[in-house]
Structure 1
Amino acid sequence: MEKWFGAAGICLNDNAELLMVLQGKPEEKKTWSIPSGGKEHEETFEECCIREIKEETGYSVEIVEDIKIKKRTYKHLNLSAEAHYFLVKIVGGKRSFQDPDNLIYEIAWKTLDEIQTLELTFPEDRSFLINYIKEAIPS
């Protein structure tokens, strides 16, 4: 079984909106995801997260904290995946498409209500993202 390692960044703005990208290969249906991607050979998971967000959104970020590690097996793809999720904050850059793979079609801040109905690249993340945002919102 092939192994894949990657990282994803959760970035919330002051309105508790989540930074998301609309992505997909040209022939695929486009779906929403938090910025994420595969780890390069000598890269740490943190470096991967920072690079992927820069490539996909144009924003420079720094890691605030580790959130979780998601491990999944996709038997139909003969693939085992491990993705490290980080909370990040924007420290520079500006919203722009710089994706070297040309898989990003839109960059947007999504509300909690929108996340509940968006077509997600990783539908298994929906409840986690919703609960994470709810906990982040000051009561």
Structure 2
Amino acid sequence: MQMKMEQILPAPKVAVAVFLSKDKKVLLGRRLNCTGQSYFSVPSGHLEFGESFEQCAIRELKEETGLDIEKVEILKVTNNIFLEEPSHYVVILVRSVLADPNQIPQNLEPEKCDGWGWYEWDSLPEPLIGPFKSALAEGFNPFSN
């Protein structure tokens, strides 16, 4: 990657993406007014200072969906560089389950997501956000680990 020396590049950001599973389905929403607009993604967000990856996953899922989770497990780390923006994201992919299987996701950030739905792993909606799609191309499957 060759760029002019005077160009200042943004520092990499760290995000946590939560693969919440229920009956071989995963929770996805279509993003609005943010990075990856109109692409489907799992609940995710930036790591805050002093947080563990697990704490970030629990907080982000609660903020976006109102759901409580448990058994947060790190599955994969992806390194994503987007030259057109430019931006650089390190994304921690985690798997979790509902603390209460009867809870129903709510859309608590309607300005950022048009709603949440459960999707069969074998028939995911399109288009998928870049880091998720890249992980899939590498054979990532949150149900097989």
Partner of 1:5: 14
- Aligned residue among 104, 111, 114 for 2:113: 104
2:70 and 2:46 map into 1 onto residues whose CA distance is 18
Q: Judge conservation of contact 2:54–2:72 (CA < 8 Å) in 1.
A: no
How has the CA–CA distance of structure 1 residues 108 and 80 changed in structure 2, closer, same or farther, with 3 Å as cutoff? same
How has the CA–CA distance of structure 1 residues 79 and 133 changed in structure 2, closer, same or farther, with 3 Å as cutoff? closer
Q: Match for 1:40: what amino acid?
A: E
2:143 and 2:55 map into 1 onto residues whose CA distance is 27
CA deviation digits over 1:69-105, x for unaligned, max 9?
1111222223221111111111145421222x72011
TM-score of the pair, normalised by structure 1: 0.79
Does residue 36 in structure 1 map to residue 40 in structure 2?
no
Max radius of gyration: which structure?
Answer: 2
| Unmatched 5+ stretches in structure 1 | none
Corresponding pairs, count = 131
| Unmatched 5+ stretches in structure 2 | 1-8
Quote how far apart the aligned CAs of 1:31 are: 1.7
Q: Match for 2:22: what amino acid?
A: N
Q: Judge conservation of contact 2:54–2:73 (CA < 8 Å) in 1.
A: no
- Aligned residue among 62, 65, 69 for 2:73: 65
Q: Judge conservation of contact 1:55–1:97 (CA < 8 Å) in 2.
A: no
Residue 33 of structure 2 aligns to a residue in which SS?
coil
1:36 and 1:80 map into 2 onto residues whose CA distance is 16
TM-score of the pair, normalised by structure 2: 0.76
Give aligned-pair identity as a percent.
Answer: 21
1:5 and 1:52 map into 2 onto residues whose CA distance is 13
What do you get for the CA RMSD once the two structures are aligned?
2.4
How has the CA–CA distance of structure 1 residues 68 and 22 changed in structure 2, closer, same or farther, with 3 Å as cutoff? same
Does residue 135 in structure 1 map to residue 144 in structure 2?
yes
The 5 Å alignment of 1:45-124 reads: 45-92=53-100, 93-99=103-109, 102-115=111-124, 117-122=125-130, 123-124=133-134
